[in-house]
Chain A
Amino acid sequence: MDKRLKRILPKVQKPSRYTGGEYNQIIKDKSSVDLRVAFCFPDTYEIGMSNLGMSILYQTMNSLDFVWCERVFAPWGDMYAEMKEAGIPLYALESGDDVKEFDVLAFSIGYEMAYTTVLDMLDMSGIPLRSENRDDLLPVVVAGGSACVNAEPMAPFIDMFLIGEGEEMDNEVLCLLHTAKLEGWGKKQFLTEAAKIQGVYVPSLYDVEYNGDGTVRTYTPHEGVPQKVLKRIVEDLDSSPYPVNPIVPSTEVVHDRVSLELFRGCVRGCRFCQAGYIYRPIRSKKPDTLIRQGIEAVQNTGHEEISLLSLSTSDYRPLSYICDGLLDYCESRSVGLALPSLRADNFSVEIMEKIQKVRKSGLTFAVEGGSQRLRDAINKNVTEEDVLNTCALAFSGGWNTVKLYYMLGLPTETDDDIVGIAEMSEKILHCWRVNAKNKNRGVRITVSTSCFIPKPHSPFQWEAQISQEEYLRRVNLLRSSIKAKNVVYNWHDAETSVIEAALSRGDRRMADVIEEVFRSGGRLDAWTDYFRYERWNEAFRKCGLDRDFYASRERNVSEVLPWDVIDVGVRKSLLIREKERAYRSELSPDCRRNCSACGAAALLKGSKCDE
């Protein structure tokens, strides 16, 4: 270990997150590999090590014998300061080698607030921030992850984006780079060749022109480059790589458990939900594959919990079957089962009772909107009756805490809808009084609201975000409407939401703002400890960009959007239709009752959507 590092580690909080050496880490002989990949997660170790995508791709890339892929995370503030002072550049955990020596920096960008941390990690590595200032083929700076469905705000910094799922695409790119490195290609030659791989978006090969009003006029691809980049998917999840030997952190991380992914995509089509559109089509894993992988992963890690992941776990048809199959193994070994993302229905309570024999955690409902009209407008198929019935069952079964999540500022929301949130909490309280087995223990109902952020590739991608003042007015309205003392109301600050709204629908000019924030000290902006609203506003002013043009401007459906260059497989006409239906508070049936022919099924070659 680096001598300088040895001196600073005893001084920082939780130093084991900066050392590597965990069980199941992959160590290779660096003299026997041709490509070294620094897999960079632009957030802390605890967050990055909880990310299933990172765990999958770490193993996928390392399955190539000419590649050694290592992990890199962003240090917390104390470690950052110590590293700067000691002059230690960013290093990879497995080998401890400087990131600058690597051939590839691969960033996983899952959320917009991580943008400044990407720049920080490049800078800590001593690598120029902008693609145009990196002339050589190596290192190649690539990025993937769900935030890249609008790649434009980060386009000037990243050589190539990998859009969609990486299991196959990443290795195709690494194979091409292998050839390029051995044959001594130039950067331009490699990027032009890579752009032919489906899912690869090389922003420098597209010229953007703007209209006088600041909107995008055109995207012009260079010769031989596709007009639009079609996202990549893995067709068969059963045969696609899943890490049954994931790294076991030696310190506590956010999700310290085995994660099993039941299926990708979602049949629900909630209109505010980006994930519900960008992960289509629906592909499920077979229940026996999941049971086998879950058991193997528990054996290989010693984890005490398995979490079943998906966007809507109740929609996994054989859910009961795999719960039974896993419980058979888990119960005698004190391994717990966790099911986030359950829908508010009776079936969920049955499943919950099955898996929570020992400890009853709280119930959580994402209700999103305060009235049936508004829930219809956003296509959130949850009725008040569903919620009350589920609560009745749960209260009579001994549960006594309920959490309810809502968004304020959804399109078409009125004050009546907001008062409806308070009314619903009262009804749940009443439901507890009627159904609770043991009233002595009391009940706790928590209502949380956040400010709605319109996201690219969702039917609400053209909508205006409400202003911060308006959000606070609505928060106060709700506060004064909630009277019961058993109901606790928490609201998220709107400041981060405003910036996130601007970033998520930004164009390439936004890169200047991101760089300016970074230059004035911004990093780890996803953390309230580090996020400074004023720093962002100041950067917008300095760069001559209008934050509200991006955050709170309603777009016309005919406008060229910065993310139109990315095709996630869902037709724009469907998004327009869904937006129009929202304004009529009209529901769309879920994909299983009536396929909306969104277009995503065309991404499948040999199978059908939701088979």
Chain B
Amino acid sequence: MNKYNFAFFDEQSKREIRRALLKAVAIPGYQVPFASREMPIARGWGTGGLQVMLAIVGKKDVIKVIDQGSDDSVNAVSIRKFIQQMTGVLETAETSEASIVQSRHRVPEVPLTGEQILILQVPIPEPLRETEQSELRAKRLHAEKEYSGVWLSLFEQIMKYGCTATGADHPTMVHERYVMSPSPIPRYDNRRLNDCAALILFGAGREKKIYALPPYTKVESLAFVDRPFVSESMHGKICRLCGAEGVFLDESVQAAGAGPFYECNDTGYCRQRQSSKSRLDRGEQSGD
């Protein structure tokens, strides 16, 4: 650890990212270009989020890193270990204890507070990329608030499938100005970006872009008046481990003949509920 500066980066690298972050916060949903340094993990594996984290993290922070809701996946563990080795900060799996949460493709189930910062890793930050390949033309379209291509793409999905077919990364309108990719979070999480109490920072290392949502910013998922935005339905499904309902669940298939079962996607949340439940159970038993 001593071979490196605090938080891995030299101070000039941090300064460049910090300047980009300030402009990103000042223009919600607008993609600010940044230099995107080489990192000890490959681009596309969370280098954008990692760079944002290293530019802002301090000695007193407590960090949580999750990957698709899991604290224990390879990506989450390696990023968390790297940050911890480069800074010596404390780490946690409990969302409420963390001052900075870095996440790949999920917003934690526990509501975030105004004292917390959520960093989302972004593979493709440009919501117009599917309809406009040129970076320069895409920037011009953003400048002119010309989003017909995105609307047409959603319209085509409805014509083809009867509904919008964005499994994740459903485009959003931020502060009534910029169409923004919310990163590949499930549609369930899109609503939770709107008016969120926490500051949300997005880092795309491969595409060299940073953008942000300040707290209490209006974030609307794109939808038509007669085809409202619909998130994944968890109706009637229960986590088999903690009994949670109405949260984002993973579906797993059992052996032939048996139906599917469900577990909370956010493993930290699920474990917290399980330990509360077992404490309660123990309390009830001792009360007998």
A pairs with B: no
Q: Which chain B residues have a beta carbon within 8 Å of chain A's beta carbons?
A: none
On A, residues with C-beta under 8 Å from B are none
